[in-house]
Amino acid sequence: MATIVAEATGQAILHEEHEQSFLRKYIFSTDHKVIAIQFLIYTLFFLMIGGLLAMLMRYQIAWPARGELPLGGIFPETMVASGYILPEFYNALVTMHGSVMVFLAIMPMLVGVWANYLIPLQLGTHDMAFPRLNMLSFWAMVPAGILTLASFFVLGGAAGAGWTLYAPLSARPDLTGVGLGQILWLLALVFIGLSSILGSVNYITTTINMRAPGMTWMRMPLTIWSLFITAILALLAMPVLSAAGIMLIFDQTIGTSFFLPEGGGQPLLWQHLFWFFGHPEVYILILPAMGFTSEILSVGSRKPVFGYKAMVLALVSIAFLGFIVWGHHMFQSGMNPTLGLAFTVSTLFIAVPSAIKTFNWMGTMWRGNLQLHSAMLFAIGFVAMFAIGGLSGVFMASTPVDIYIHDTYFIVAHIHYVLFGGSLFALFGAIYFWYPKMFGRVMNETMGKIHFWLTFVLFNVVFFPMHGVGMVGMMRRIYDSTGYAHLQGIEDTNALISWAAFGLFASGFLFAFNFFWSLKKGKKAGANPWNATTLEWQTPSPPKHGNWEEIPVVYHGPHEYSHPDVEDKDWLAQNERPDVVSPAAGSH
């Protein structure tokens, strides 16, 4: 029945195509592919903004007494005065770097871009279940972006209480010095929540109902599995954040005191609500990346994914455990220490499915025929960096060690190994990998490889030493660390980190140049440039509106590479019948 519905909507869409104006086709489009590209442009822009904020922070951290920043014309005197970043502005940078990267860059790039682009194509359907809802999920992000950017220029500047918005600091303008900026950011967050919830409903419905004939659950590519589970996480977690955000707006504006002790409220309640959302959020930010990595490693190794079922089970168990570990952010918060015991155990056990995934990725590469193109390099980079981020997590899961390293740069190193070394590496890989499908041309390989090596080396020069700075005891979010006796002697390391960070940021422009240059000058791709098996590669690049002339039929699992019975080529598309390609293969 699901198929009939899919075909019916598909025909309606195909029919519509001829009558569409420019505005309907490229701006207010309901085509999942156009919406994905809109998300991609949007998120790449905010990735740059988030990076820029980080560069300003790094300047301040390395040279707190230097000044000389020519930013006076851009930001008001209350933020940057005669070349000096003021504490007001530094707190805004800290807060908005984290907020922009998590909510406006990485999360919508993982989900908004790739769930939109890949779910209908990899499942073999014409579009999303609810195309108009899908359009709304993009357009809800637009006011969020505008509010965020605007908040830098209002009186008091942008939000300055950290991306975790801990109350009472975030709730009392008299204590942060930030009034309107904090409210604007919370309103942006409400729009982001709306976008994410609408998107999730769509991804879940489409995955359950609109799979092509023969696409059983255990034949879905791991990208789809990861995006599907991510959508469930987002649907359960985002409403909590939105509700908490609205409560915080009330505390700021109409005199409630949910989180203010003087009115009977509880500051820790905010932390529980925030992290009840926040920890599933961490997995929202990594599961899709794991999915892309599995796909790219399989294609690039010319081998089926090692332990497909174990990979699916690991995804599901990470998602489940992700909901019962939030308290590990609160070991030193004043929460009852006995609760900490339970959270230690659940947290440490997330290491098990993470280890399973890492070993299965290595298993996928083992005895492969590795094609080390840019996408593959980033996918391998993901495994290598995610492993470091996972292992450094063991230190903070162990509560006694966390007493010391909590709120130090050790945590900053950890989160960036997961979110940059993990999520962003996988995202770069995904862009190199699916760009030919999106735009019909392959991104330049030479530039891609240079971009990979610059990113890989500089990333490690930036973030590995942060473990050391954290061990020395440098606190997070410190405007100027030079006044502390125990932090004497780390100035050189901080300067090195900052120089490497500037290089890392600059290397992003090589990627951006390659991205736009290849639109016109890239090598023509053809339908299937990587000889890949999943359905999206079995339709022209870029696919037409509606994706398929005829809905494909799926005969087997997603990663049939180097099947011994298939001769002449080392792959078998999901919609190719093994016994037609090679009679001997029919038995599998």
Partner 1 sequence: MDWALPPNYSTFGVVIDQLFWIILVITGIAFLLVEGGILWFCIKYRGREGARAHYTHGSNKLEIIWTVIPAIIIAILGAYSAAVWQDIKGASNRPADALEFLVVGKQFEWNITYPGMDRTLGTADDFTVLNQFHFPVNEDITILLESEDVIHSFFIPELRVKQDAVPGMTIPVWFDATQTGNFEIACAELCGLGHYYMMASVTVHSAADFDAWQASRASETAQ
Q: Which of residues 14-43 bind partner 1 (CB under 8 A)?
A: none
Closest CB to partner 1 among 324 and 391? 391
What is the spatial distance between Cα 517 and Cα 47, in angstroms, rounded to a whole number? 19
**Residue 454 Cα distances to 62, 412, 460, angstroms:** 22, 21, 10
Q: Which amino acid appears at position 587 of this protein?
A: S
Contacting partner 1 (CB under 8 A), which of 48, 52, 236, 384? 384
* H-type alpha helices, 419-563: 425-439, 445-472, 491-521
CB of 465 to partner 1, least distance (A): 7
Are 479 and 441 within 8 A, CB to CB?
A: no
What's the token pair of residue 69?
A: 């920043």
Q: Which of residues 94-123 bind partner 1 (CB under 8 A)?
A: 94
Regarding 267 and contact with partner 1 (CB under 8 A), the answer is: yes
Q: Which of residues 276-315 bind partner 1 (CB under 8 A)?
A: 301-310
Backbone angles phi, psi at 460, to 5 degrees: -70, -35
Q: Which stretch binds partner 1 (CB under 8 A): 144-152, 166-174, 451-459, 575-583?
A: 166-174
Closest CB to partner 1 among 38 and 364? 364
Regarding 332 and contact with partner 1 (CB under 8 A), the answer is: yes
Closest CB to partner 1 among 436 and 558? 558
Q: How many CA atoms lie within 13 A of 191 on its CB side?
A: 19
Regarding 444 and contact with partner 1 (CB under 8 A), the answer is: no
CB of 557 to partner 1, least distance (A): 8
Regarding 65 and contact with partner 1 (CB under 8 A), the answer is: no
Q: Which of residues 450-509 bind partner 1 (CB under 8 A)?
A: 465, 467-469, 471-473, 475-481, 483-486, 489-490, 492-493
Residue (of 502, 535, 424, 548) closest to 122 by Cα position: 535
Backbone angles phi, psi at 81, to 5 degrees: -115, 125
- Report the SS3 class of residue 61: helix
What is the b/e burial string over 312-348, where b = at least 16 CB atoms within 10 angstroms of the residue's CB?
bebbebbbebbebbbbbbbbeeebeeeebeebbebbe
Q: What angle do CA 382, 418, 120 make, to 5 degrees?
A: 65
Contacting partner 1 (CB under 8 A), which of 2, 133, 243, 370? 370
What is the spatial distance between Cα 581 and Cα 411, in angstroms, rounded to a whole number? 52
Closest CB to partner 1 among 25 and 477? 477
In terms of DSSP bridges, do strands 523-524 and 441-442 run parallel, antiparallel, or are they unpaired? Answer: antiparallel
What is the spatial distance between Cα 288 and Cα 268, in angstroms, rounded to a whole number? 31
Contacting partner 1 (CB under 8 A), which of 67, 261, 526, 586? 261
Regarding 533 and contact with partner 1 (CB under 8 A), the answer is: no
Regarding 166 and contact with partner 1 (CB under 8 A), the answer is: yes
Element at 177 (helix H, strand E): none
Regarding 182 and contact with partner 1 (CB under 8 A), the answer is: no
CB of 200 to partner 1, least distance (A): 30
Contacting partner 1 (CB under 8 A), which of 2, 362, 512, 527? 362
Regarding 531 and contact with partner 1 (CB under 8 A), the answer is: no
Q: Which of residues 335-354 bind partner 1 (CB under 8 A)?
A: 337-338, 340-341, 344-345, 348-349, 351-352
CB of 202 to partner 1, least distance (A): 32
Q: Which of residues 406-435 bind partner 1 (CB under 8 A)?
A: 406-408
CB of 556 to partner 1, least distance (A): 11
Q: Which stretch binds partner 1 (CB under 8 A): 76-84, 123-131, 142-150, 368-376?
A: 368-376
Closest CB to partner 1 among 136 and 356? 356
Regarding 235 and contact with partner 1 (CB under 8 A), the answer is: no
Q: What is the total count of residues that contact partner 1 (CB under 8 A)?
A: 104
Closest CB to partner 1 among 20 and 346? 346
CB of 50 to partner 1, least distance (A): 18
Closest CB to partner 1 among 477 and 577? 477
What is the spatial distance between Cα 498 and Cα 61, in angstroms, rounded to a whole number? 8
Are 141 and 195 within 8 A, CB to CB?
A: yes
Regarding 320 and contact with partner 1 (CB under 8 A), the answer is: no
* H-type alpha helices, 17-31: 22
What's the token pair of residue 344?
A: 């230690």
Task: Mark 385-404 with x for binding to partner 1 (rule: CB under 8 A) and - for no binding.
Answer: --xx--xx-xx-xxxxx-xx
Closest CB to partner 1 among 26 and 366? 366
Q: Is 196 left (phi over 0), alpha (psi -120 to 50) or beta?
A: alpha
Closest CB to partner 1 among 279 and 563? 563
Q: Which stretch binds partner 1 (CB under 8 A): 113-121, 159-167, 185-193, 510-518?
A: 159-167
Location of structure tokens 């809802």 = 133
CB of 495 to partner 1, least distance (A): 11
Q: At what angle do helices 141-150 and 32-62 cross, to 10 degrees?
A: 20
Closest CB to partner 1 among 132 and 263? 263
Q: Which of residues 555-574 bind partner 1 (CB under 8 A)?
A: 561-564, 570
Contacting partner 1 (CB under 8 A), which of 78, 216, 253, 371? 371
Residue (of 145, 148, 149, 242) closest to 198 by Cα position: 242
What is the spatial distance between Cα 198 and Cα 194, in angstroms, rounded to a whole number? 6
Q: Cα(first)–Cα(last) distance of the chain, in Å?
A: 28
Regarding 253 and contact with partner 1 (CB under 8 A), the answer is: no
Regarding 316 and contact with partner 1 (CB under 8 A), the answer is: no
Q: Which stretch binds partner 1 (CB under 8 A): 12-20, 168-176, 191-199, 428-436?
A: 168-176
Location of structure tokens 């529980």 = 272
What's the token pair of residue 231?
A: 């959508």
- Report the SS3 class of residue 561: strand
What is the spatial distance between Cα 546 and Cα 128, in angstroms, rounded to a whole number? 10
